[in-house]
Amino acid sequence: MFINKTSDGRNNICGKQITYFRLQQSLSQRQLADKLQLLGLDVDKNAIQRIEAGKRFVTDIDLVIFSRALETPIEILLYDINDK
């Protein structure tokens, strides 16, 4: 049976990386949401919060736009820091 969650129960593997790169750029969750909206992704601060907490799934379309907004390769966003 396929389990659609990480080993620690998160709904995505990119949330922690998104948090890291957002903070590296000194962006608030609201500022990141604004940046994403300008790129065409309709999300708000609450959605960012849920993504970073691992409570919201992230689509491939979302991931492409996060990558652009954070100026970070998709591969880096998909790096699971809990994967050993």
pLDDT tens-digit profile of 44-78? 999 999 999 999 999 999 999 999 999 999 999 99
Say which residues have a Cβ less than 8 Å from residue 45's Cβ, sequence separation at least 6. 28, 29, 30, 33
Residue 53 backbone phi and psi in degrees, to 5: -85, -5
Condensed to tens digits (0 to 9), the pLDDT of residues 24-42 reads 999 999 999 999 999 999 9
In this prediction the pTM is 0.89
H/E element, 24: helix 15-24
Contact of 50 with 14, CB cutoff 8 Å: no
Closest CA to 33 of 16, 50, 17: 50
